[in-house]
Amino acid sequence: MSTYRRINVIEEGGVSIVRFVDKKIVDSATIEQLGEELNSLVTVDKRNMLLLNFEGVEFMSSAALNKLISLNSKVKAAAGRLKLCCLRAEIKEVFTITRLDRVFDLRKTEEDALAAFKL
């Protein structure tokens, strides 16, 4: 199992719940490292059921969205599922404006998202 600096990961019922360490995901070095850590969950640790919990994230730059799109592709290639939850209204609005709300499975709470994995 890998060690991560930008994320915390716990397992619950076969789902890897990812929480972010940073409140603001804006600078390129942070985004690059975050992308590498998220990708290694799938490619190195072989986890394909991921729930990204954005509860502590106050702001996220659009560059971070590219990392999420890449992660989504890797998860699908690994026959897995990716869900996002607890997005602040401002961040959710970015997903809506970019129409990524149609690409990603966005859930209001962690409980809703975990339940959706069982469907």
Residue pLDDT, tens place only, 61-109: 989 999 999 999 999 999 999 999 999 999 999 999 999 999 999 999 9
Query: Distance between CA 11 and CA 94 in Å, rounded?
Result: 28
DSSP 108: S
Query: Distance between CA 53 and CA 19 in Å, rounded?
Result: 5
Q: Provide φ and ψ at 56, rounded to 5°.
A: -90, 0
Q: Which amino acid does the sequence have at 83?
A: K
* pLDDT-based confidence at residue 1 (cuts at 50, 70, 90): low
Domain containing residue 69: CATH number: 3.30.750.24
79: left (phi over 0), alpha (psi -120 to 50) or beta: left
Does residue 83 fall inside a structural domain? Answer: yes
Does residue 1 fall inside a structural domain? Answer: no
| pTM assigned to the model | 0.96
Terminal C-alpha separation, the chain: 28
Residue pLDDT, tens place only, 37-58: 999 999 999 999 999 999 999 9
Does residue 64 fall inside a structural domain? Answer: yes
Q: How many structural domains is the chain composed of?
A: 1
Domain of 90, in residue numbers: 7-117
